[in-house]
Amino acid sequence: MKLIPTRFLAGAAILALVASACSSSGASPTPAPVTTPAPGVATPAPLATPVVTPVPKAVTIEWWHITTGEPGKSIFQGIADAYVAAHPNVKINITVLENEAFKTKLATTMQSGTSPDLFQSWGGGIMQAQADAGMLQDITAAVAPWASTINKGALSIYALNGKQYGVPWDMGMVGFWYNKALFTKAGITAPPATWDEYLADVTKLKTAGIVPLAIAGKDMWPSMHLWTYLALRIGGGDAMAQMIKSGNWNTDACKAAGAEVVKLNALNPYQDGYKSATYDNEAAAVGNAKAAMELMGQWAPGVEANDSTSKKGIGADLGWFPFPTVAGGKGAATDGVGGGNGIAVGKNASPEAVDFLKFFSSVYNATKLNASTPATALSPVIGTESAVTDANLQLVLAGRGKATFMQLYLDQATSPAMGTAINEATIALFVGASTPDKVCAAITTAAAAQ
């Protein structure tokens, strides 16, 4: 008889477990984005319900960013703290994530039908997919009063079909970062202005026993930028836009860009082990003065320093020059490949979240990003340019300011699948396993599968 209560209890406990398992499964379903509402339904009309109450109601803003490094991380926190101090009803929950972790977490969160109020964005194809799924808020009207305070080109990266979904806080241009001392050693007096000069300088560096150019075969995208620039210089901005739009890459510009890469390859300009090198390996090669150049965005000096053995990089030896022009090319010397960072607004974000973006984009706060050492960003907020102290970054800013056409990084301007296809097709060319025609055909095939 002793057994009865024990058994009964055990049975009850198990039932409770089962019941809780079942109920929790009901409450938080496994990822079933089938139930994602149609985009039109999910996008609330902004400003339809303005919060005009005497006592402001408590609001929490969920903000995910990937600025893991200092001083940027503290600056972000400081701006959020300042906003909260001025708006006691608002609470800002910051989640700082590492780049890859952020992408995975955001994708799975969105698949379950929700999104953070504010989150890191690079615009382009991924933002398009998020907008199509109704995960983003159209903030065009809310931003309109202060849109003119931001660099127009940079702001347009976070807009689709005339609708603004986010705001940039960083905008730069890809160019060659080079080691002045190594250039001098190879007898090069001035950075090359044309592609022919560039190839000649590569030969000079080679002759002097210096590795001319570092690329990253494992990460693929650094050399993809080089190919993009060649296509842009040869075909011009219109041809580039047309290739992206039509999905037809079997063009003269595309093939000619590949042919120039083959010319470069023939000089054997890359560092040892470039086929399996990561971007960090590439940055270390330049930061340790083992390679003379890399083609990279505005963040290069910081990463080079961080990845170098001395943690200081090459210091004053570092210089910057824009991508050279190609003889007979249709592109202008002032056309650029660039991009940066922005903050996108989630579908359910409160008006306070957008107001915080305005605060974040004020000259006062944006200046902090530019003025930090090293610079956290090249802010696109007009009037913050002079806060940048670094001479090289001033060159990047000048390039950005003069840009007659700005192509967003090709692997981000297109859909993720296209971006991967472009990276894979171009790296095959750089490691000598493909031909210019094959690259264009592979990208065209990938575009057709979209």
Partner 1 sequence: MSATSATSARPRAGFKVPTKWVTISLFLLPALALYLLFVLVPVVQAAHYSLYKWNGLQPLDNFVGLKNYATALGSDTFRTAVSNNFLIIVLSLAIQIPFSLSLAVLLNRRFTGRTIFRVIFFLPYVLSEAITGVVFSLLLRPHALIDSGFSSMGLGGLIQDWLGDPGFVMITLFVIISWKYFGFHMILLLAGLQGIPREIEEAALIDGAGRWQAFRHITLPLLGPTLRVSVFLSMIGALQLFDMIWVMTRGGPLGASNTMAIAMFKAGFQSQQMGYGSALAVILFLFALVLALAYQRFVLRRDVEGAVTAFNG
Q: Which residues pair with 166 in a beta bridge?
A: 344
**Contacts with partner 1, 134-153, as mask; x by CB under 8 A:** -x------------------
Compute and round to an integer the Cα radius of gyration of the chain. Answer: 25
| Span interacting with partner 1, options 70-78, 153-161, 323-331, 422-430, rule CB under 8 A | 422-430
Count Cβ atoms below 10 Å from residue 408 Cβ, excluding itself.
Answer: 20
Site for partner 1 in 214-273 (CB under 8 A): 217-218, 220, 272-273
Q: What is the DSSP string of 17-36?
A: HHHHHHHHHHHS-SS-GGGP
Q: Which of these, 305, 299, 300, lies nearest to 340 by C-alpha position? A: 299
How far is CA 285 from each of CA 24, 110, 184, rounded to the nearest angstrom?
52, 38, 18
91 sits near partner 1 (criterion: CB under 8 A): no
Q: Which of 33, 56, 187, 315 binds partner 1 (CB under 8 A)?
A: 33
Cβ-based nearer residue to partner 1, 104 or 310: 104
Residue 100 CB, nearest approach to partner 1 (Å): 10
87 sits near partner 1 (criterion: CB under 8 A): no
CA distance 87 to 96: 22
Q: Which of 163, 206, 275, 438 binds partner 1 (CB under 8 A)?
A: 275
Count Cβ atoms below 10 Å from residue 86 Cβ, excluding itself.
Answer: 9
| Span interacting with partner 1, options 18-26, 155-163, 356-364, 384-392, rule CB under 8 A | 18-26
Q: Which of 47, 107, 144, 363 binds partner 1 (CB under 8 A)?
A: 107
Residue 272 CB, nearest approach to partner 1 (Å): 4
Phi/psi for 238 (5° steps) reads -65, -45
Q: Which of 415, 422, 426, 444 binds partner 1 (CB under 8 A)?
A: 415
Burial grade of 90 (CB within 10 A; 0-12, 13-18, 19 or more): buried
17 sits near partner 1 (criterion: CB under 8 A): yes
Cβ-based nearer residue to partner 1, 110 or 326: 110
For residue 217 the two structure tokens come to 């075969």
Q: Which of 69, 71, 351, 416 binds partner 1 (CB under 8 A)?
A: 416
Burial code (b: 16+ CB inside 10 Å, e: under 16) for 159-188 equals bbeeebbbbbbbbbbbbbbbbebbbeebeb
Residues that bind partner 1 (CB under 8 A): 3-4, 7-8, 10-12, 14-15, 17-18, 21-22, 25, 30-34, 36, 38, 103-104, 107, 110-111, 126, 129-130, 132-133, 135, 217-218, 220, 272-277, 281, 415-417, 419-421, 424, 427-428, 431, 433, 449
